[in-house]
Structure formats: C-alpha cells, structure tokens
Structure 1
Amino acid sequence: MNGLNMLFLMSGWATGYSFGCDIVDYSSSPMALRMVNVCWLYYFSKFIELLDTVFFVLRKKNGQVTFLHVFHHSIMPWTWWFGVKFAPGGLGTFHGMLNCIVHIAMYSYYGLCTLGPAFHKYLWWKKYLTTLQLIQFLMVTIHIGQIYFMDNCPYQYPIFMFIIWLYGFLFLILFLHFWYHAYTRGQRPPKVMKNGISKNKAE
C-alpha cells in the first residue's frame, strides 16, 4: 500500500493536481498512463483485500465478519471497475490515494496483531486507527462535495462524483456507528482468552 500511495502521489496528486477540479487526462502522456496503471493496481488490490473476509471465515472469527466489513470490502471492487474503465484519473482518484495512506497504518496494526501476545501491549492505538478512518471519510466527502459548489468544473463523469460522495458519507455514518458502540457505549464483542474466559479489554 505504501508503494501504491507513492505512485498516486507521483502520478498527479503531488505533481500537478490542484485538489480542486482535476479532470481525467485521456492523453497518452507518460503522467496520464502512469495514473492509469496506478488505478489498475489499486483496483486489483481490492480483490486481495477480500481475502480478509475469507481468512476470518476460515479461522471461525465470525464476529469480525460484520455488515460494515463485508459491505466495505465488497463494494469497492465493483465501483472501482467503473472508475478505472471510464475515469482513471482526476479528482475521482483522491479517495484511493487517501485510502492507501490509511491502509499503511491499518496493516501495520494487523501486522503487530499477528506477532503474538508479547506485542499486544503495542496495540493501544486501535481507537486512534478508527479515528483516522473517520477522518479519511470526512475528507473524501468534503473533497468530492466541493464539485457542487464550483462555478464550472468540466469533469467528464459527474455521476462518479455523486457515487464517491455517497460512498464517503455512508462509510462516515457506519464508522461513527461503530465508534459509538465500541468506544462510547463500550459494547464491543468480548475477547475470548486461551483459558476460554471471555474478557472485554478496552483498546
């Protein structure tokens, strides 16, 4: 994900995009073709992420196969297929670039989880990881929403802007719902220790 993030930056977001009305470049310029390749790589990465759900099921961690998890991982490949086929570039790729940044932190957390109980003391920041995800979807919603306040933005597929805005807004609500139940009301699923005793542990 770190590599994809750098590719997104070098393909436009750090080399010329204005973070405003950035339309899709359909030319054969090296920069435009690089962005197309990055979009395809990001698209394929969404299928790899579906393996999270497969591993949860195989390990019988059904409590982690929530509506939020399944909806998030299943909708992205479909929406990005349309994006990468018709509009591989421009302001519609901002959420992909931002998502790569968040995934660096997320998979670092998952990596520490797999190292065993000795490393669990370093996992105190899960709450802040959720905060980072909330910030991500808030930024996506605001960034895409600005197109409706621009006087003239000739983005080629305005319908994609509405879909991305709806995606960002829905996930903002779903993650806020998760935050409320997990950290405000403290109703997270109990952790089952090796001795079979259920134990809730604040993170």
Structure 2
Amino acid sequence: MLQEIKEMGSHALDIYDYLVAGIDPRLLSYPLMQSPIPMTLILLCYLFFVLYLGPRIMANRKPFQLKEAMIVYNFLLVGLSIYIVYEFMMSGWATTYTWRCDAIDTSNSPQALRMVQVAWLFWFSKIIELIDTIFFVLRKKHGQITFLHIFHHSFMPWTWWWGVGYAPGGMGSFHAMVNSSVHVIMYFYYGLAAAGPRFQKFLWWKKYMTAIQLTQFVLVSLHATQYYFMDSCDYQFPVILHLIWMYGTFFFVLFSNFWIQAYVKGKRLPKQSAKPCQNGTAVYTNGKHHEHGNGISHGATNGTSNGSAHHENGSAHMGKMKKA
C-alpha cells in the first residue's frame, strides 16, 4: 500500500513537472510565473478570508465606509484597463492580426514580447481585482458575495495563469482584450457610484451594465466558434479556445439568469417604498437605506417606540376623561 502511494505521488510530480515545463520561457522572468503554487496559495487565502475569516472578524464590528479608497481603487483600474486594451491593440489586434486564425508569435521580436507583457498584465489585473470582494466583506455587503462573484474572481485567475503561461497571444487573447474593454466601463461606473449620492443622476445606465456583459460573452463565444468552421488553423493550443468557448457560454447563462431575476422579475432590485412609521418617517427611502444597510433598525425602532408611547399616552388620557 505504501509503495502504491509513493508511485502515485511520483506520478503526480511527473505530471506537475511536465505541465510547468510547458510554460513559455519568455514569461519565467515575470512575477508569480515560475510555478502555479504561489498563485494557488493567493487564491486559497482569498477564499478563506472572504468565506470564513473576514465575516468572523466583521461579525461584531461596524462596517467600514472606505469611500475614498474605493474611488481611488476603481479609477486606477479604469486607467489600467485602458492601458491593457491599448497594448493588446498595438501588440497585434490593430496591427498584424486578422481577427480570425491568429497564431501565437513565439519569437523575441519587440511586438511579440509586447504581447507577452500585456498578457501577463491582464492576468495580474485579475489578482488585483480580488480586492473587490475584500471591500464587500469590510463593508458587510454580504448580499454581493454571490456564487457568480466568487467563481468569477477565483477560478478565472487560476485558469488564466495557465492560459497566459502556455499561450500569451494569438486568437486566444481576444477575450482578454474584450474583457478589459468592458472593465473600463464597469469600474468607471463603480467609481462614480462610490463617489456618493450627488453622482446618482449619472448612473441611469446601471441596468445596461449587465447587457454589456452579455454582449461580451456573445462576442467571445462567436470568435472562438469560428475555429470549428475553419478548414485549417495553425493556432498552437486549441484547448484554450475550447475553454474560452465554454466560459463564454457558461457566463452568458449565469448573467442571463441575473438579468431575468433583476430586471424582468425584479427580485434583486431594492424596494422603492414602504409604509411610514407612526412618526411619519419611512423606513425605506427609494431603497437607499436597504441598499446601504444604514438606519433601518434605528428607523423601525424609533418609529415603533414613538408610536407606542403616543398610543399609551392617549389611552391614559382617555381613562382619566372617563373617570371624570
């Protein structure tokens, strides 16, 4: 039995060594690209914090506001996403690529190395975006930490590490460029939303964010689908295209469900009104208290206690009048 375990361990190490040996040598000088272990540990620590440690730490604490930090964070990601899109365009998509069957340039030419660099930068931006969930935890926005959010922020960076390591460029990088384009719009929206109520009037296009995401997945899936109808294509890693097609289809279904639940059935939208309390103060005002989690319990308590006191005082007064 012990011998079998040793053989299984040895076999697993051989597979690991084989997979790591396939990493593009041009990427070995980039941070976190020498082995998948550091990247995997980062993602496991992320999951441990957002699913267990963070909620326990915040259980008896007031939520942090983090307004200034969120504004800076979101607009920095806007700038980073714009730069990534520009680099993808200059590295091939606006210069030498045909937008059909584009192979990976494995040379050390300046343009090929530029594509390698932006491919790594796109992956690293996914590590930076883990802060999204940390903000949710620290602000106690537990309703935002959904399966879709956790899956997207953890599994995608893990798989993209292998995608960048094996295939930095070519037609497989199309979805990275499209995704970064969407993130320019998305983080711009988040930045305005974090800036406060005075910018709410500029966020009328909130529901179109999901439509933009759905368009992204359609474009990505269509671009990958054309590979299956080509007579021949010398793209070196077809498995990457298979994964991209599956991801595009899978996320299209998930985001379509979100769209239906939120904007067709209205199940995910905040309530727009509520019955006023006895003192004339509504518990919800245009969904703001419900959304931000501030003032609900105080409003309900004060309204109820004031109403009860008023009722008791009125009853005592009526009793005295009857005795008289």
Could you state the TM-score of these two structures normalised by the residue count of structure 2?
0.60
2:137 to 38, 41, 57: 57
For the 8 Å contact 1:46–1:77, the answer to whether it is kept is: yes
* Residue 195 of structure 1, CA deviation: 3.4
2:230 to 142, 147, 150: 150
Deviation sequence 1:18-68 (CA, Å, 0-9, x none): 110001110111111000000111111000011101110111101001111
| Matching residue's letter, 1:66 | T
1:182 alignment partner, SS class = helix
Residues 1:195 and 2:295 are matched in the alignment: yes
Identify the residue that residue 6 of structure 2 maps to in structure 1.
none
For the 8 Å contact 1:147–1:153, the answer to whether it is kept is: yes
Residues 1:177 and 2:257 are matched in the alignment: yes
Residues 1:67 and 2:147 are matched in the alignment: yes
| Residues in 2 aligned to 1:63 and 1:146: alpha-carbon distance in whole angstroms | 38
* Residue 123 of structure 1, CA deviation: 1.1
| Residues in 2 aligned to 1:65 and 1:5: alpha-carbon distance in whole angstroms | 28
Identify the residue that residue 87 of structure 1 maps to in structure 2.
167
Between structure 1 and structure 2, the one with the greater Rg is 2
Identify the residue that residue 166 of structure 1 maps to in structure 2.
246
Structure 1: stretches of 5+ with no match in the other structure: 199-203
2:96 alignment partner, SS class = coil
For the 8 Å contact 1:2–1:100, the answer to whether it is kept is: yes
The ranges of structure 1 where at least 4 consecutive aligned residues each deviate by more than 6 angstroms after the TM superposition are none
* Residue 121 of structure 1, CA deviation: 1.6
- Of the two structures, which has the highest relative contact order with CA contacts closer than 8 Å and spacing of 6 or more? 1
* Residue 84 of structure 1, CA deviation: 1.1
Identify the residue that residue 201 of structure 1 maps to in structure 2.
none
Residues 1:5 and 2:5 are matched in the alignment: no
Identify the residue that residue 187 of structure 2 maps to in structure 1.
107
| Residues in 2 aligned to 1:54 and 1:189: alpha-carbon distance in whole angstroms | 23
Could you state the TM-score of these two structures normalised by the residue count of structure 1?
0.94
| Residues in 2 aligned to 1:192 and 1:61: alpha-carbon distance in whole angstroms | 14
Identify the residue that residue 138 of structure 1 maps to in structure 2.
218
